[in-house]
Amino acid sequence: MGPGEEATPADEADAFRLGALLAADGWVVLSGGRDAGVMRAVSQGAKTVPGSLTVGVLPSAGAPVAAGVDVAIVTEMHNARNNVNVQSSHVVLAFAGGGPGTASEIALALKAGKPVILLGGDELARAFFRRLGGDRVVIAGSPEEAAAAARAFRPAP
């Protein structure tokens, strides 16, 4: 989870690498599915891995789907779809420095009892979310650390 149109090139590069790492570990990579920012980059990164599977949970029927999304779920519920994203995930990886949409996903994930791995952001954002979620919030310094942290939450096969 992370910024769309507001993503920086560094965010997108991180997301792309994260997508590839998660897919290589065998995760299904689910994102908000729109053709923008972190959603597009993580899907395209995942698709560099043969046999990968990506899901995009879209806000509306008209939203263009990111290239790299294998399965598009059209919710037609706009930002309320953020709750579908987190409910459908075993672990939520989020850009701590994202805007209100990303912040709502982190909060909804914690409300749903999901583990959250935070990437990026500054001390203020990390401190806020750490207090909000306690032990369920993990800070990762890089896509590699985030992917490594995610392994702890892998469901048994």
Please say which residue, 9 or 134, places its beta carbon nearer to its own copies: 134
Percent helix, percent strand, percent coil in the chain, to nearest 5: 45, 15, 40
Residue 83 is encoded by which pair of tokens? 């709750």
Which residues contact its own copies (rule: CB under 8 A)? 28, 53, 55, 57, 60-61, 70-84, 87-88, 99-101, 103-104, 107-112, 124-125, 127-128, 131-133
- Give min distance, CB of 145 to its own copies, in A: 23
CA atoms within 13 A on the CB side of 113: 0
Please say which residue, 29 or 143, places its beta carbon nearer to its own copies: 29
Query: What are the backbone angles phi and psi of residue 29, rounded to the nearest 5°?
Result: -100, 110
- Give min distance, CB of 144 to its own copies, in A: 26
- Give min distance, CB of 154 to its own copies, in A: 16
- Give min distance, CB of 9 to its own copies, in A: 22
Please say which residue, 16 or 27, places its beta carbon nearer to its own copies: 27
DSSP 99: -
Please say which residue, 47 or 81, places its beta carbon nearer to its own copies: 81
Starting at the earlier edge strand, list the strands of the sheet with 92-95.
Answer: 92-95, 116-119, 137-140
On whether the CB atoms of residues 58 and 34 are closer than 8 A, the answer is yes
